Structure 1
Amino acid sequence: MSAMQITEKPLPYVRLAALTETVASQPEVAAVVGPLFDRVADAIIASGGEPGLPIAEYDMNKHGVRITAGFVYDGPAVDGIVIVELPAADAAFTATHLGTMETIDDSWHAVNQAIVANGSTALGACREVYLQSESEDQADWVTELQQPVASS
């Protein structure tokens, strides 16, 4: 595996049409996130809208992992779908994960190590922006990992 390029940059405000679900533990995320995206996409398309870039936000808390999965969206309200506003962040560590979701934990580990090595602190929920995510086997997927931080 080649060394991952990790950069620090601000994150823009993003408006999503999304659904949210909480799972008890990290291993349960994979089974939930795909179907959430499918439900949101189906609802947007059924309403005559066009889903934008897919983004997931993961928020670890005492209840488990809160997953928000949706698409960049600037259209009208869609029945059964929630509009979620992801705030801009002054600073975030970002990295590009290539390939399947099976190895994304390794990429997140590298991002978190870089945050600690820099003396920064992860701030709030992390995001995954699925820049390329059409293929079933995920071999050619391109996912930007984003973790807002507070500088030291």
Structure 2
Amino acid sequence: MSEVEYKSIEPVTVYAASGTAQGPGPDYVPPVIDEILPPLLTALQSAGVDFEEPGIFWYEPTGAGDELRVWVSWVAGGGEAVSGDGWEVVDLPAVSRAATLTHHGEMAGIGSAWQHLMQTVAADGGEIAGPSREVYLVSGPMSQSEWVTELQLPVSP
């Protein structure tokens, strides 16, 4: 795990699909990702849509208890982004200030990385100011032990 850094994040257009997790954490979120990720990839490939790495996942409270809307996406490639069967085009906005942390390795350890990030933001006096994002800088098909994921948390000073 790297140290927490504060930086701005550029806007990005993505091809995305979403599902609902009944709560945060490893018991609820990964099954939703496993449910929506393969059909999204298949739909984009079948349609011949130009998309590229990195994959970007983000999480938003639904307002219904602990439920989270889980989004899975890839960056839209060159040309005009188009909606299709199985995905939508989402313009992720710029973030003027985000706390970021780079997680190396297995997804089993990402929860502790998120916890460290949030504790650091709280200790620095920041407040969460938008949906958290995971940007998969290096991921499959290689082993998760080789993955590199940037955690991004929009914050207000």
TM-score normalized by structure 2?
A: 0.88
Deviation (angstroms), 1:60:
2.8
Amino acid at match of 2:71: T
Tell me if structure 2 keeps the 8 A contact 1:41–1:51.
no
Q: Which residue of 2 aligns with 1:104?
A: 110
Q: Secondary structure at the match of 1:124?
A: coil
Q: Secondary structure at the match of 1:49?
A: coil
Q: Which residue of 2 aligns with 1:149?
A: 155
1:132 pairs, out of 114, 130, 138, with 138
Q: Distance in 1 between matches of 2:49 and 2:76?
A: 9
Q: Distance in 2 between matches of 1:149 and 1:78?
A: 33
Q: Which runs of 5+ in 2 are unaligned?
A: none
Amino acid at match of 2:85: D
Tell me if structure 1 keeps the 8 A contact 2:100–2:150.
yes
Tell me if structure 2 keeps the 8 A contact 1:129–1:143.
yes
Q: Distance in 2 between matches of 1:51 and 1:40?
A: 11
**2:99 aligned with 1:93, yes or no?**
yes
Q: What is the root-mean-square deviation in Å for CA atoms of aligned residues? A: 1.5
Farther-moved stretch of structure 1 (92-101 vs 65-74): 65-74
TM-score normalized by structure 1?
A: 0.91
**2:28 aligned with 1:22, yes or no?**
no
**2:63 aligned with 1:62, yes or no?**
yes
Q: Which residue of 2 aligns with 1:6?
A: 4
Tell me if structure 2 keeps the 8 A contact 1:135–1:141.
no
Q: Distance in 1 between matches of 2:146 and 2:2?
A: 16
